[in-house]
Amino acid sequence: MGDVSGSQPHPSPIQLLDVEDVLKKLTKTEKAALTAGIDFWHTKAIPRLNVPSLRLSDGPNGVRGTRFFNGAPAACFPNGTALAATWDVDLLQKAGVLMGEEAKLKGAHVLLGPTVNMQRSPLGGRGFESFSEDPVLAGFAAAAIVNGVQTTGVVASIKHFVTNDQEHERMAVDSRVTERALREIYLLPFQIAVRDSRPGSFMTAYNKLNGVHLSENRRILQDVLRGEWGWEGLIMSDWFGTYSTSGAINAGLDLEMPGPTRWRGGILEHALLSKKITEHTLDLRVREVLKLSNRVRDSGVPENAPEKSQNTPETAALLRKIGSESIVLLKNESNALPFKKTETVAIIGPAAKAAAYCGGGSATLNPYYAITPFDGISGKGGSVKYSTGCYAHKMLPGLGAQVKTADGKPGVVFKAFTSPPTVTDRVPVDTIEIVDTNMYLSDYTHPKLTENLWWAEVEAYFMPDESCEFEFGLTVHGTGKLYVDGEVLVDNETTQRPGGSFFNVGTVEETGIKHVEAGKTYKIKVQWASGVTSKLAEADGVVSFGGGGLRIGGARVINVEEEIKKAVELAKSVDQVVLCVGLNSDWEQEGHDRPHMDLPEHTDALVAAVAAANPKTVVVVQSGTPVAMPWANDVAAVVQAWYGGNETGNAIADILYGDVNPSGKLSLSFPKQVEDNPAYLSYRSERGRVLYSEDIYVGYRYYEATKKAVSWPFGWGLSYTTFALSDLHVAVDDKSLIISASVENTGSVDGSEVVQVYLTQQDPSIRRPVKELKGFQKVRVEKGSRKKVEVVIERKYATSFWDEERDQWIEESGVYDVLVGNSSANTPLNASFEVAETSWWSGL
């Protein structure tokens, strides 16, 4: 593979810049160039003035580096909703430190995360990336991670600012939000992060807010962020999320990404000439780029550093701890959990032997490894039996792990060419052995591939372990055909259908079935041409990252009814049953939202049948956002395991066998059905706009106000022990609320509880939610012991709502109730305090 990072033989250390002196010496051309990237991941260098090229890297659950394709392996963290489900800011700060260290290994100065958008609906395609439906939990989680990242000298770029809460027409949609909802729900987590962690960078959202694209929204970028909040730092666009030259520069957008520029460079110089932009305004933008260089200097990351991996036991241990702390025990009847290692266990389900370690899109990376639930559970010892039960994939599982190269290594051989297959004597310019057959080639380059049009071949050998009908699949951005022993089995070239792959520019997965014999070797070959050969029209609101892509999948064809029968018989024959079900990166990914809350076809039927066969059935669900569970009343236990990163399977097994006592709490409500969600009637673009019709009543705020029953409430989570809360005391002064309570472990094992503090105002002048989370504290308590917990909350943040008449926060005089418990639906402790005088405030 060619050099995609612009690395040099001897990386240069970043020098401290005299920003004002450099600014004086820059030419207008150099200034314009500094406000845009030079490629997908790097800023412009000005060597004569020692201005370095800085590297940026995704993302919210790990650091990919500069390559989607064949990138350096990395630590993959649990996804955003999982991180928030720990309710442990100290642990999240440690996660942030590891993210910063991982960024340094990848030579990155800026980490593009965390994602702090809100969970209006369970259907959000990138919902798994974000933290919560609640702005306080999201804000505290974001601040903890930013603080951790920035202790390493790496700068965090908090995103997407603001209201990028859906994928449908995300570059065009106008999010129409009341000022009160904007302040109390959507801006608040960013405000808390600015107050508590001062992120060094912000990334703007793709969408419009009340008629103005965020990258051109002076009111949000300048008046609120830099003015009202007093924040200092660099503002960059999301990738291809800049839509103008003078509009974006004047609004406060410092850096257009990625490069090469579409809107700056010579166009910006012309805007200077016509005084659409003043040189003073340009200097403001350039100054932030130069200051960013100084800000990341403490990271010790040199310019154009090589990309490395460092898979250590310490990293694995922290990822395993975060993963297990994030898992939520939703239900546990008749002590179905924890499992006993001396009893037989059946592992059933389509997610058992697949490691759903992260969602799709910008969050994707090449993990150091990924432990499947089957491997994690099997590793606990005891007698284990397995059955697939049914399939749940949207696209066929990647073929890479099922095939070998000509010399017997796992995976495939990828060859790149400058000429098409009709040239019989063509010679590859590059040859790579790779296991992952999901190849997104947007950032693949080679010195000899100088045109947008180029070709590739992928070859491998397949030896099935049983005679069966086998289905092969090919998905492309570009064009391609899949051959088995020289015969075309899948044609994804002659006719193409859009399918949402590769950030929504690729085809559907076209498939073909072939009968294969056990022990016989079949040669698999894909002939592919780059993205410019695609026959698909570019969809509205789609970002094309260029290059192209191909994905090769395959699986045995099964009879679902027969497989469910096998699973039922297996469940009858064992002492313990765990069903592993859920979604994966095919279902939850950047570029499109989910059409419904249902689990994949046949999953519910499988769960119902197995539960009827064994009354102690335990269901482990992996998803980043809520799914419908119509069988929840019929199973003994339900575990929400999210996407768990590298240590997915081990973390699940630790919880199932009680090696770790579950302590995760839901970071968002699980409605019974999607129609119950407050955004149900207004969650998609309608002729270019989306109305945030639920206003401030997002998630539990709505369910509490309307007394709508949910499957599992916000903040919910069980333990293998029991806790009792008592002795609530509230002290108040001009600045703070000091809430204290006792937590007693009344059960038989050590465990952790999350004390959640909600507030409500008696007799407010306008309608307010029944209760709102304002603070929390996670505490570990040994069995039979009691601990005092103290939660300190800034009073004005606890009491205030947004006054649209005054355009300020208002703290009204009156009585406020403090409600303390362990979920939004269970707040048994109650105390009150009084605010004597009404006041208004702005800023942080």
Q: d(Cα 429, Cα 352) in Å, to the nearest integer? A: 40
Q: Is 841 helix (H, G, I), strand (E, B) or coil?
A: strand
**Torsion, CA 46, CA 52, CA 57, CA 63, rounded to 10:** 160
Q: d(Cα 479, Cα 521) in Å, to the nearest integer? A: 26
Q: d(Cα 546, Cα 528) in Å, to the nearest integer? A: 15
Q: Which residues are catalytic?
A: 238
Q: d(Cα 335, Cα 771) in Å, to the nearest integer? A: 32
Task: Name the CA radius of gyration of the chain, rounded.
Answer: 27
CB neighbours of 637 closer than 8 A, spacing ≥ 6? 329, 330, 331, 332, 333, 336, 337, 617, 618, 619
Q: d(Cα 190, Cα 476) in Å, to the nearest integer? A: 37
Q: d(Cα 544, Cα 506) in Å, to the nearest integer? A: 9
Q: d(Cα 639, Cα 651) in Å, to the nearest integer? A: 12
Q: d(Cα 546, Cα 564) in Å, to the nearest integer? A: 42
DSSP 661-702: ------SS-EESSGGGSTTGGG-S-BTTEEE-TTTT--THHH
**Torsion, CA 221, CA 223, CA 224, CA 227, rounded to 10:** 110
Q: d(Cα 419, Cα 188) in Å, to the nearest integer? A: 54
Q: d(Cα 126, Cα 608) in Å, to the nearest integer? A: 29
Q: Are strands 617-622 and 576-582 parallel, antiparallel or unpaired?
A: parallel
First-to-last C-alpha distance (Å) of the chain: 48
Query: CA angle 87-90-95, nearest 5°?
Result: 90
Q: d(Cα 33, Cα 266) in Å, to the nearest integer? A: 9
- Strands (E) in 567-666, as ranges, are 576-582, 617-622, 637-640
Q: Is 212 helix (H, G, I), strand (E, B) or coil?
A: strand
By residue count, the chain amounts to: 844
Q: d(Cα 212, Cα 202) in Å, to the nearest integer? A: 18
| Count of beta carbons in the 10 Å neighbourhood of residue 774 | 23
